[in-house]
Amino acid sequence: MLPSPRLLSMFRQPASLGLLAPLLLAACGQPQQQGGGAPPPPTVTVAKPQTRPITEYDEYVGRFVAINHVSVNARVSGYLEKISFTDGQMVKEGDLLFTLDQRPYKIALQQAEANLAQAKANLDFATTDLERARTLIEDKTSNAISKQAFDQRTQTQRTATATVQAQEALVAQAKLDLQFTELRAPVSGRIGDRRVSVGNYVIGGGGGTPTLLAVIVSTDPIYFEFTFDEASLLRYQRMVQGGGIDGSSVELKLIDDKGWPYKGKMDFLNNVVDRETGTIRGRAIFDNKQELFRPGLFGRIRLPATAPYQALTLPDTAIGSEQTQKFVYVVGPENVIQVRPVTLGPLDGDRRVIKTGLKPEDVVVVNGLMRVRPGVKVTPQEEKPPAPADAKAPAAASPAK
């Protein structure tokens, strides 16, 4: 179907074409172009620094050491006859551990007792003979015994007395050797594995290098040893003397712990500083009723490095970094972003201590740092404040990274 001549004449008129264009665009579903405008300011989350009590700590690596570490060795030699414990069990002081063959020592005791009996018989005879001689020599009317014979009987009696004392010592030694054939636990603790099997010959302490039979270590309480430098030693001593910190309380964590759940006390500080390393050895003591700590196990210990003080803190995610410079974005007048260089302190949980560069009334961008830059106007949205820290228990701050 061909268009009518009247419609064609309308398209030939410029004014009519201008009026028709919006109608054609509307009929084709094309929207009219809107005028351009500036994008709205980005929305960021802001918060003021939170003030909380902080105690800074120094951390050191060390290892656990048993208070009692005893090597069980035989005092007498002989064949091992019996083992009276299970490897790795807990033993109490005085528990029977090993038994050596007792027959040779019983025979030696019997022989010593027989020799003692003979010596006592000789002493009785010598004593009786001396008393008889004393009676005769005291009789001035007779010359039945000479002074020399009396002195000889006196000497015989003294020799017999000394012989009895010597035999009594041999009997005591024989009894002691027989007692040493039973090896008992010298301390309470956990015993290791047996080092010698039944039937082996065990060398005692009097015949060369004694045979190691087992090792016992005490478990509760337990020591933790570590070293620290002499500069820290002087700092701790001055703070303790000034009353700023308690020099005895320490905290500890193991390799899989998140916090510092174990509390202990310093109980020893070495009397000299190692001249080669410039460090000194310290020792703390911890309860170990659950036997979680084992001698040789590594751990981390921390000591108070400062007295508690009030500090400004921010979420650690609010800290920006440019090479070595740390900064935060502060919302200034008319909501314009400013850059504020800051000096960081230790990390307190998920919050970072700010030592310099901020005031309590500053409003800091804590979320949305990638959407802002200095001089940009923003729409601030306040963050919900975190729960206040317990003022009675200062927060534990880790060393600054």
Structure confidence at residue 388 (pLDDT): 52
Q: Is the confidence at residue 33, as pLDDT, over 70?
A: no
Residue span(s) of the chain under CATH 1.10.287 come to 103-170
Angle between helices 103-138 and 147-180 (to 10 degrees): 160
Q: Is the confidence at residue 4, as pLDDT, over 90?
A: no
- 58-67+221-304 is classed CATH 3.20.20.80: no
Structure confidence at residue 244 (pLDDT): 65
Instruction: Name the residue among 292, 398, 360 with its Cα closest to residue 51.
Output: 360
Q: Is the confidence at residue 127, as pLDDT, over 60?
A: yes
Structure confidence at residue 97 (pLDDT): 95
If you average pLDDT over residues 27-50, what whole number do you get? 68
Structure confidence at residue 247 (pLDDT): 67
Give the pLDDT band of residue 152 (cuts 50, 70, 90).
confident
Structure confidence at residue 20 (pLDDT): 43
Q: Is the confidence at residue 143, as pLDDT, over 90?
A: no
CATH code reported for the domain at 72-101+181-217: 2.40.50.100
Q: Is the confidence at residue 401, as pLDDT, over 50?
A: no
Collapsing DSSP to helix, strand or coil, 331 comes out as strand
Q: Is the confidence at residue 387, as pLDDT, over 60?
A: no
* Structure letter (DSSP) for residue 265: E
Q: Is the confidence at residue 24, as pLDDT, over 70?
A: no
Structure confidence at residue 366 (pLDDT): 87
Residue span(s) of the chain under CATH 2.40.50.100 come to 72-101+181-217
Give the pLDDT band of residue 368 (cuts 50, 70, 90).
confident
CATH code reported for the domain at 44-54+309-397: 2.40.420.20
- Percent above pLDDT 90 for the chain: 42
Phi, psi of 40, deg, nearest 5? -70, 155
Least confident of 33-42, 228-237, 357-366: 33-42
Residue span(s) of the chain under CATH 2.40.420.20 come to 44-54+309-397
Q: Is the confidence at residue 171, as pLDDT, over 80?
A: yes
CA distances from 312 to 53, 240, 381 (A): 9, 25, 21
Q: State the chain's maximal CA–CA distance in angstroms.
A: 194
Q: Is the confidence at residue 75, as pLDDT, over 60?
A: yes
103-170: CATH topology is Helix Hairpins (1.10.287)
Give the pLDDT band of residue 309 (cuts 50, 70, 90).
confident
pTM confidence score: 0.69
Structure confidence at residue 136 (pLDDT): 77
Q: Is the confidence at residue 44, as pLDDT, over 50?
A: yes
Tokens of 301: 């210990």
Instruction: Name the residue among 233, 236, 265 with its Cα closest to residue 249.
Output: 265
